[in-house]
Chain A
Amino acid sequence: MSDHILKTVLYVEDDKDIQTIGKITLESFGNFNVVMCNSGKEALEKIKDVNPDLVLMDVMMPEMDGITAMLEFKKDTELSEIPVIFMTAKAQVHEVEKYNKIGVAGVIIKPFDPVQLCPQINEIWEKFHAKFTVRV
């Protein structure tokens, strides 16, 4: 177990129906503080005020997609160490390779199983911090 506590999640998703089920799941099973955004652009505007422990983000979104938003986070030293998980249906091998290249902490495939979502997030969270500790 890492010493890092996962409390606040910035959840970026444009589909209202998936937002609803995702938020219920994250709050009920993860007991996380969940802050919602509808696009990468909105996430970029809110992220510093929210100061999340983790960003859980869709890839295909209007205004600004997940990849562009993540690349913007990486440019900013205040944000570059915040782990980002992509939650997407676009998860073919070449797509996941592309996400890994830009430094995503993990990928969760949509449609997701609500019961499995928080364990999947926690697993990615633990791996991310284990890797980070070894690097340091």
Chain B
Amino acid sequence: MLNLQSEFEEKLNTAKTNYLKSLNEKHTLLGILKDLMFKTDDLKDENLVNAFQEAYGYIHKLSGSSAMFGFSELGQTSNKLELLLKDFIKNDYSSDKEVICENFEILLNEIEKAIKKD
């Protein structure tokens, strides 16, 4: 069991290093989506709707994977934003956009913290 555990931890550390590299890319991408999402309120703008849906997809994945790689705070933050976005999309983009914007900012900071910490 000890050997299994150490073999697992060794592979997990390699995977975690790669995951951290991918967090950099995720941070950049989410930053671009955030700019698209909050620059206009015009729901006829297809880019706005697409940006929200794309962001939801990325954050859903981040919420699922980050906790498994040991980033529990990032997991909680992304899960909170995932649920907010889900409701926002479900309510035809009519709920409080400011709350989403604030939580988006918190998430981007949390990603930066995770990258710096490791």
Contact = CB atoms under 8 A, between A and B. Distances in A.
Nearest to B16: A21
A15 interface: yes
Contacts of B60: 60, 89
Interface in A103-128: 110-112, 114
Contacts of B8: 24-25, 28-29, 114
Contacts, number: 47
A21 B9 CA distance: 11
Interface string A7-21: 000000001011011
B15 A21 contact: yes
A17 B69 contact: yes
B103 interface: no
**Range of interface residues on chain B?**
10 to 19
Contact of B69 (A21, A110, A112): A21
B61 A24 contact: no
B40 interface: no
Q: Is the interface of B mostly helix, strand, loop or mixed?
A: helix
A24 B13 CA distance: 11
Contacts of B64: 15, 18, 89, 110-111
A15, A17, A25, A29: residue with the most chain B Cβ atoms closer than 10 Å: A17
Contact of A24 (B12, B65, B67): B12
B2 interface: no
Interface in B68-82: 68-69, 75
Interface string B3-32: 010011001100100110010000000000
17 contacts: A15-B64, A17-B19, A17-B65, A17-B68, A18-B65, A18-B68, A21-B15, A24-B8, A24-B12, A25-B8, A89-B60, A89-B63, A110-B64, A111-B64, A111-B75, A114-B8, A114-B12
Interface of B: 4, 7-8, 11-12, 15, 18-19, 22, 60-61, 63-65, 67-69, 75
Interface of A: 15, 17-18, 20-21, 24-25, 28-29, 60, 89, 110-112, 114
